[in-house]
Chain A
Amino acid sequence: MQNNKTIDEIMNFLPPKIQWLLSRCISDHILNVEEIRLRLNKPLIISGSNWDFFIDSNGFLTKDIKNAYVTSKDDIKKASEIIQGFSVYSFGEELKNGYITIPGGHRIGVSGKTILNNGNVKIIKDISFINYRIAREIIGAADKVIPYVIDPTSTIYNTLIISPPQCGKTTLLRDMIRQLSNGIKTLNIKGFKIGLVDERSEIAACFLGEPRNDVGIRTDVLDACPKAQGIIMLIRSMSPDIIATDEIGKDEDAQALMEGANAGVKIITTMHGCDIDDLHRKIELKKIHSNYFQRIIVLGKSKGVGTIEKIYDREGKILYLST
């Protein structure tokens, strides 16, 4: 049921031909699809956690490339018009970053030829690669990690989630926010006030201001705001206990995090990477003191998407190791 809803949300943003193919597809795989990939004059591919398939011209999944439906120029053209809401002026700014977030929190990534202006990407034109990434809300994804991030003396530890793409970073973060915000009776945790800076509209998936995903009852969402500014704004305006944000990576993000720490606010955030070393290797984040994060959670795929591989404490000691 849940899955049907998610696939329908994506369907509306697919070009007609591909919409038709997928609507005829009755395999169970379609319910667990994670990515739908369109590449100009290349076969249409749908993929899940550890599988991918072509689709033939009748909508059946196939492994045989000879039967695969080939994405046409028309498909790409229509898809790029649809995902921009037929309005370049409105979504051009978002598209500059290479993706657009649609209602439901799904992300559509694009790639093509970039046009530069003063060394910065001005627009992406001649879009020929499109990736529909389906976001899933998994209630209970954070059950395992919550006990590790609770600080018995105050609120929680500053926590960083490190993971390669497609390993459930955002899903985990969203569920942590939900649980910490609602409070957890069994662990005797009262709910915390959480300020969520949702720069990519992925975590809460706000549409017209209302979160589509469950992020808890004590959560204030600052939607589509740049992280660095948003963190400072929320500290001043909403007096949060915890600030949550996604995918830090810029110089100013690091600075804002430090400022948040000085204001006595706890932080939960995520970062792309494979292990704890990647944190120290990123020069942009050098402003963050090496022991700023008191808990570091590393995600991987060793036992399926969203496996919690390791949890470190601030000295780099391993508290939990997936076996």
Chain B
Amino acid sequence: MLKGIGALLIIISSSLLGILISSKYSIRPKEIRKLRFSLQMLETEIVYGSTPIPYACYNVGCKSDKPWKDFFMRVSENLLKRKFFSLEEAWNDAIVNSLKNSYLTSADKELLRNFGRVIGKSDTEDQKKHFKLIYAQLEHHEKIAEDEKARNEKMYKSMGFLLGAAILIILV
């Protein structure tokens, strides 16, 4: 009886470990997609509303999902409360501090960092171009992330289960 419960616990915990590792691959494409939606809102604010960045980021933050809600709110706060005196610094600070728990890779963050260098720096027409570029880049990253997900998600899940089974065999 006791043995049975122990065996079950081992199997469950190792399977959960597998799911945990695999979630890294399933969450990243979702996060990239959500970023794209948020940036689309930001583009509308900039191109049609001419809203200054601090207010535009606040509006976008209100309507975004995690982790982008925190990200845009932080950019807005950094600028409005004058914690930083340039958009690039405020943007980078938010990348470092608001995306700690996200599953984005350093390449994704680098993309976002580069975007922070150009946003707000030119007229509406030019801003449109930068948005177009980052959409294309994000789509590319999303595709890679989806591929990785397809490849790895299942593998880690089954590996977790198999690990549990292996431990059981060794112990018994």
Residues of A within 8 A of B (CB): 12, 15-16, 77-78, 81-82, 85-92, 123
Contact = CB atoms under 8 A, between A and B. Distances in A.
Interface string B41-74: 0000011001111101000000000000000000
B87 A89 contact: no
Contact of B53 (A78, A86, A92): A86
B110 interface: no
13 contacts: A15-B85, A78-B86, A81-B86, A85-B52, A86-B52, A86-B54, A86-B86, A87-B50, A87-B53, A89-B46, A90-B46, A90-B50, A92-B123
Contact of B85 (A78, A87, A92): A78
Contacts of B121: 88
Given A16-B85, A78-B85, A81-B85, A86 B123 contact: no
Contact of A86 (B50, B87, B122, B127): B87
Contacts of B47: 89
A82 B85 contact: yes
Contacts of B124: 89
A77 B84 CA distance: 13
B79 A90 contact: no
A77 B88 CA distance: 12
B3 interface: no
Given A78-B86, A87-B46, A88-B121, 5 more contacts: A85-B54, A88-B123, A89-B50, A90-B52, A123-B123
Contacts of A81: 85-87
By DSSP majority rule, is chain A's interface helix, strand, loop, or mixed? Answer: helix
B78 to A, nearest CB: 10
A85 B85 contact: no
Contacts of A92: 123
B45 to A, nearest CB: 10
A90 B87 CA distance: 14
A90 B51 contact: yes
Nearest to B46: A89
A92 B52 CA distance: 11
Interface string B138-168: 0000000000000000000000000000000
Contacts of B51: 87, 90
B85 A88 contact: no
Contact of A87 (B52, B82, B90): B52
Contacts of B82: 12, 16, 82
A89 B122 contact: yes
7 A-B pairs with the lowest CB-CB distances in the bound complex, closest first: A85-B52, A86-B87, A78-B85, A87-B52, A86-B53, A89-B124, A87-B120
Contact of A89 (B54, B79, B85, B127): B127
A263 to B, nearest CB: 33
B86 A89 contact: no
Nearest to A89: B124
A96 to B, nearest CB: 11
